[in-house]
Amino acid sequence: KQEVTQIPAALSVPEGENLVLNCSFTDSAIYNLQWFRQDPGKGLTSLLLIQSSQREQTSGRLNASLDKSSGRSTLYIAASQPGDSATYLCAVGRGSTLGRLYFGRGTQLTVWP
Amino acid sequence: GAGVSQTPSNKVTEKGKYVELRCDPISGHTALYWYRQSLGQGPEFLIYFQGTGAADDSGLPNDRFFAVRPEGSVSTLKIQRTERGDSAVYLCASRGNRESELFFGEGSRLTVL
């Protein structure tokens, strides 16, 4: 069974800092990896999707990397802002076909002004 | 529609009652997923539909849970004889045929008293 772990569980930083959120998974035979953002009481918003053949994806101030062989991904947030405060979830799709995603518990991020 | 729509957004019921949760995916999306999220946890997979058929229902916890998607669009998650442990946010997601990015709804919060 695929296990996904996210570290740290919570993070509180002042505005302007560059951040790294970590995600690790036990089975390296993944189809893709997706990072989501979840605001309190809301659904999940997709941030970045990395296919298994890719090493990284970038969108604005966000950059996600993937190292399949070591079972790790990092989400880098540059110049953090209070509006970035949310829970960030990592999810991996296992195997060679699209199907279920396995989620971590998330990193709860607070960026204070 | 513009996004994944879930109804009701909130449902409070008594133990032992029957509950239906509805999901209206993004128009044209062939794949539909149900997840369950408890407080402080990542989403947990329940079932995945490709078209009208359940491609993977291995996440359904027991036979009190059932889901249908009769016309390959709207899906209904049905829970019989609800228990307090069923209290959670039930999330629906959909994906297009050629895409691997998942789009989530806002969820249905179920509280079983």
Q: Estimate to the nearest angstrom the gap between the alpha carbon of B99 and the chain centroid.
A: 20
Q: For residue A41, what pLDDT is reported?
A: 85
Interchain CB contact of A103 with B (< 8 Å)? yes
* Residue in A with minimal Cα distance to B107: A43
* Contact across the interface for A43 and B4, Cβ inside 8 Å: yes
> Is A76 touching B (CB cutoff 8 A)?
no
Nearest to B102 by CA among A34, A57, A6, A51: A34
Say whether B16 sits in a helix, a strand or coil: coil
**Structure confidence by residue, pLDDT tens digits, B51-97:** 999 989 999 999 999 999 999 999 999 999 999 999 999 999 998 87
- What the block records as the tokens of B87 is 């209290």
B16 CB-side CA count, 13 A: 0
Tell me which residue of B70, B63, B86, B74 sits closest to B15, measured CA to CA: B86
Long-range pairs for B79-84: beta carbons < 8 A, 24 or more residues apart? B79/B18, B79/B19, B79/B20, B79/B21, B79/B110, B80/B18, B81/B16, B81/B17, B81/B18, B82/B13, B82/B14, B82/B15, B82/B16, B82/B17, B82/B18, B82/B19, B82/B110, B82/B112, B83/B15, B83/B112, B84/B15, B84/B112, B84/B113
Q: Output the CA torsion A11→A40→B50→B112 (10° steps).
A: 120
Check residue A98 and give its pLDDT: 67
Distance (Å, whole) CA A30 – CA A9: 23
Do the Cβ atoms of A34 and A89 come closer than 8 Å? no
Instruction: Choose, out of A101, A102, A108, the residue to mutate when testing the contact with B (most B CBs < 10 Å).
Output: A101
Q: Bridge partners of B44?
A: B36
3-state helix, strand, coil in chain B (%, to 5): 5, 50, 50
Per residue in A7-46, pLDDT (tens digit) is 999 999 999 999 999 999 998 888 889 999 999 888 899 9
Please say if the pLDDT value at position A75 is more than 60.
yes
Q: Is B5 on the interface with A (CB under 8 A)?
A: no
Our CA angle for B40, A48, A22, nearest 5°, is 50
Beta-carbon-side half-sphere exposure of residue A38 (alpha carbons within 13 Å): 31
pLDDT at A94: 76
* Residue B38 in this model has a pLDDT that exceeds 60: yes
Interchain pair B42, A89: CB under 8 A: yes
Which tokens belong to A105? Answer: 């518990």
Mutate to test the interface with B, among A54, A100, A103 (most CBs of B within 10 A): A100
Query: Quick check: B55 and A32 CB within 8 A?
Result: no
| pLDDT level of residue A96 (50, 70, 90 thresholds) | low
Contacts of A51 in chain B (CB under 8 A): 100
* Percentage above 70 pLDDT, chain B: 97
